[in-house]
Amino acid sequence: MRSYLAVVRGSTMMGMVYRFGFLAATVGNVVYLGVAYYLWKSVYGDATTIRGLTFDQTFLYVALGSTLFIVLKTYVDWNLYSEIREGIVAIYLVRPIDFQLYMLASCTGFFLLSVATLVVPTILLMVFVFQVSIPLSAPLALLPFSLVFAFVLTFCFDYGVGLSGFYTESIWGISTVKDTLVLVLSGALIPLQFFPDTIRDILRWLPFQAVYYTPLSLVTLPDEGWQHVTRFGVQVGWMVVLLAATRVLYGRAVKVLRIAGG
């Protein structure tokens, strides 16, 4: 355990080396929030609610959604892919570490840093500049856990795609498909309430919405009660399933490396 904590510590320090990247992401996000504000303002027009959501709820949802989208980018797919291509992966294989946990630890530092540099400023901006009220409620207590689990879920998607680099010479296509699926089906782009009901019923049981909709709804829909618990359960369930699935995938993928040489 201590060894993985040391890796988390190292990756946090590495993130600070790239501090300009974080600054740029923060500025970019602020600009995006301004655009989203006027876009959804015009969508609402004179209406007070659309599909049961007030403007404040929708805007808060969209704003936090775009912020999370940056925070939850692990880049493990691209990093792992280039490490496989260049053979650097051999260095990990001769260390006494669990590959999956090591990969998770090495992107955790970036996650922690971007929570501090993006989520916190965005919330302050929402409250003080855009004057959006954030209701304090019991479900908010689940938020930190739900955020961390959302991070682990994105990690599993990205890690899984990265592992496909053992099989294929380019992961560009797979990675793009994954990004689009997650962005649309998770409710990161548009709140799930705006989808047709039948599609929503299907999406509810898929892992994608557990990444964005589950943590975001804790903030924007404080009155939903038990539905939060159900969603939280689905999130935990998918996390366990995908962690196990990527372990199996790694076991198979690493054999391919061993057969094909490197």
Partner 1 sequence: MSLIHIEDLSKHFRVLNRREGLGGAFRDLFSRDYRTVRAVDGVSFDIEPGEIVGYIGPNGAGKSTTIKMMTGILKPTGGTLLVNEKAPYDNRIHQAMVMGVIFGQRTQLWWDLPVIESFRILKEIYKVDRRTYDEHMAMFDELVGLSALYPRQVRTLSLGQRMLCDITASFLHNPRVVFLDEPTIGLDVSIKAKIRSVIEELNRTRDTTIILTTHDLGDVEALCRRIIIIDEGKILYDGGIDKVTALFGTYRTLKVQIDESCETKVDAVRASLDRRFGPDRGITVACREAPWTNITIDQDRTPLSDVLTHVMGAFAVSDVRIVEISMENVVRRVYDGALE
Closest distance between partner 1 and the C-beta of residue 143, in Å?
31
CA distances from 241 to 4, 152, 219 (A): 22, 11, 26
- Residue 173 touching partner 1 (CB under 8 A): no
Strand partners of residue 50: 53
Query: Is residue 51 a contact point for partner 1 (CB under 8 A)?
Result: no
Interface with partner 1, residue 136, by CB under 8 A: no
Alpha carbons 133 and 127: distance in angstroms, whole number: 6
* Residue 261 sits in the site that holds partner 1 (CB under 8 A): yes
Q: Which of 41, 51, 252, 255 binds partner 1 (CB under 8 A)?
A: 255
Token couple for 152: 């682990």
Cα–Cα distance, 38 to 14 (Å, whole number): 36
Q: What gap in Å lies between CA 132 and CA 125, rounded to an integer?
A: 9
Q: Is 256 in the site for partner 1 (CB under 8 A)?
A: no
- Contact flag: residue 3 with partner 1 (CB under 8 A): yes
Residue 252 as a binder of partner 1 (CB under 8 A): the answer is no
Least separation in angstroms between residue 79's CB and partner 1 is 12
Pick from 95, 170, 176, 237 the residue near partner 1 by CB under 8 A. Answer: 95
Distance of closest approach, residue 117 Cβ to partner 1, in angstroms: 18
**In the window 4-43, what residues touch partner 1 (CB under 8 A)?**
5-7, 9-10, 13-14, 17-18
DSSP class per residue in 196-240: -HHHHHHHTTSHHHHHTHHHHHHHH-GGGTHHHHHHHHHHHHHHH
Which residue, 31 or 259, has its beta carbon nearer to partner 1? 259
- Does 224 help bind partner 1 (rule: CB under 8 A)? no
Q: Which of 27, 35, 90, 206 binds partner 1 (CB under 8 A)?
A: 90
Q: In the complex with partner 1, which residue's Cβ is closer, 110 or 157? A: 110
Q: Is 94 in the site for partner 1 (CB under 8 A)?
A: yes
**Residues sharing a CB contact under 8 Å with residue 241, sequence separation 6 or more, in sequence order:** 207
Residue count, binding to partner 1 (CB under 8 A): 29
**Residue type present at position 108:** T
List CB contacts of 68: < 8 A, sequence separation 6 or more.
119, 147, 150, 188, 212, 215, 216
The whole-angstrom separation of Cα 141 and Cα 147 is 11
* Interface residue list for partner 1 (CB under 8 A): 2-3, 5-7, 9-10, 13-14, 17-18, 86-88, 90-91, 93-98, 255, 257-262
